Amino acid sequence: MNDSNDIRFLLTIQEAGSLVAAARRLGLSPPAVTQRLQQIEKRLDTRLVDRTARRLRFTEEGLLLCQRGAHLVQQFDTLFEDLQSRRGGLVGTVRVRAPLGFGRRYLASVVSGFQHDHPDVDIELTLTDQPLTESADRYDVVVHIGELPASNLIGYAIAPNARFVCASPALLKRVPNLETPDDLAHLPCIVLRENNEDASLWQFRKGRTARSVRVSSKLSCNDGEVIRRWACEGRGVILRSEWDVADDIAKGSLVRLLPAWKANDADVIALTHNRAGLPARTRQFMQYLQAQFRPQPPWRS
């Protein structure tokens, strides 16, 4: 294998998860993808992918090639981009992965604005309810909200973001006044399933006093927009990011509960693979992204 395009081809198959999906991304027919994969394996004299009608699994050799090859491709792209930037412009592709709701409301316009300013840069924005998965390694920038689990990615602060307990005025007319988080255990609540977190365990702090409460939920969803809408309709209490509910609180559609008790913050951060050696396009995109949320993010304006 002496062509970086072969590595890119294998990385596309790995990310797509199937030869059919990879064919769609590459604009090829599934037989053409299979044929090219067979040619690469023949040149290397080793099997890289075990494939059956139902599943696709990379061999140890295939995984090794993808893992090391991804770094080589990045270094290759960075080298040529740095040469191009010395001639006065940014080129290449920035792959961004982000949460669904936050991506729709805030990142879409940021991505569009950056690409408008740098027309030779391609940006691929992928929105998902689980931005931190194994496939996140294939992205240049991963936007994450909340506590960061153990990771080898490097984090950059984007914006502060608190989390509020909220309910509609209509619901509050039917329930007693809340005094402590323990009271939430007796109320209908709505939980958001994301990032494999324990969605029904809500944690609070007031000074040095900490409280954890297991809420009861008849409604749950992996889309924050859905649970916010349910809360506005009076179906239950939610624990939701400030960026998502600030407008509803300002309009009176939702009321913030237990303001003296602070839930864990869920700050917005951006993750990259390393600090040194980032392509110029990625560095400048990160700077542009941070600038859009300073000095105050829009939900605190």
User: What's residue 82's pLDDT?
Assistant: 67
Fold of 163-263: D-Maltodextrin-Binding Protein; domain 2 (3.40.190)
Mean pLDDT of 249-272: 94
Contact predicate 279/263, CB 8 Å:
no
pLDDT of 129 reads: 78
Q: Which CATH superfamily is domain 89-161+267-300 in?
A: Periplasmic binding protein-like II (3.40.190.10)
Q: Which CATH number fits domain 4-66: 1.10.10.10, 3.40.190.10, 3.40.50.170, 1.25.40.10?
A: 1.10.10.10
Per-residue pLDDT at 101: 92
Q: Identical fold at 89-161+267-300 and 163-263?
A: yes
pLDDT of residue 230 exceeding 70: yes
Q: Tokens standing for 41?
A: 């394996």
pLDDT above 70 as % of the chain: 90
**For the residues 136-153, what does the mean pLDDT come to?**
81
Comparing 53 with 182, which gets the higher pLDDT? Answer: 182
The predicted pLDDT at position 228 comes to: 96
- Biggest CA-to-CA distance, the chain: 72
pLDDT digits (tens, 9 = 90+) for 189-209: 999 987 667 888 999 999 999
Supply the pLDDT for residue 162.
Answer: 96
Give pLDDT, residue 209: 93
Q: What is the mean pLDDT of the chain?
A: 87
The reported pLDDT for the residue numbered 26 is 84
Give dist(CA 100, CA 148) in Å, integer.
17
Are the beta carbons of 216 and 188 closer than 8 angstroms?
yes
The pLDDT of residue 176: 74
For residue 278, how far is the Cα from the chain centroid?
A: 19
For residue 51, the model assigns a pLDDT of 77
- The confidence band for 163, taking pLDDT boundaries of 50, 70 and 90, is very high
pLDDT at 139: 86
- Whole-number pLDDT of residue 158: 96
Per-residue confidence band for 236, with pLDDT thresholds at 50, 70 and 90: very high
pLDDT score at 248: 96
Q: Say if residue 297 is preceded by a cis peptide, omega within 30 of 0.
A: no
Q: What is the mean pLDDT of residues 236-262?
A: 96
Q: For residue 133, is pLDDT > 80?
A: no
**pTM exceeding the 0.75 threshold for the entire prediction:** no
pLDDT tens digits, one per residue of 72-131: 877 777 776 666 665 556 888 899 999 999 999 999 999 999 999 999 899 999 998 777
pLDDT in tens, 266-283: 999 999 887 666 788 888
Domain ranges of the chain: 4-66, 89-161+267-300, 163-263
Q: Is the pLDDT of residue 144 over 80?
A: yes
Residue 294 C-beta-side C-alpha neighbours within 13 Å: 8
User: Please, which pLDDT band fits residue 182 given cuts at 50, 70 and 90?
Assistant: very high
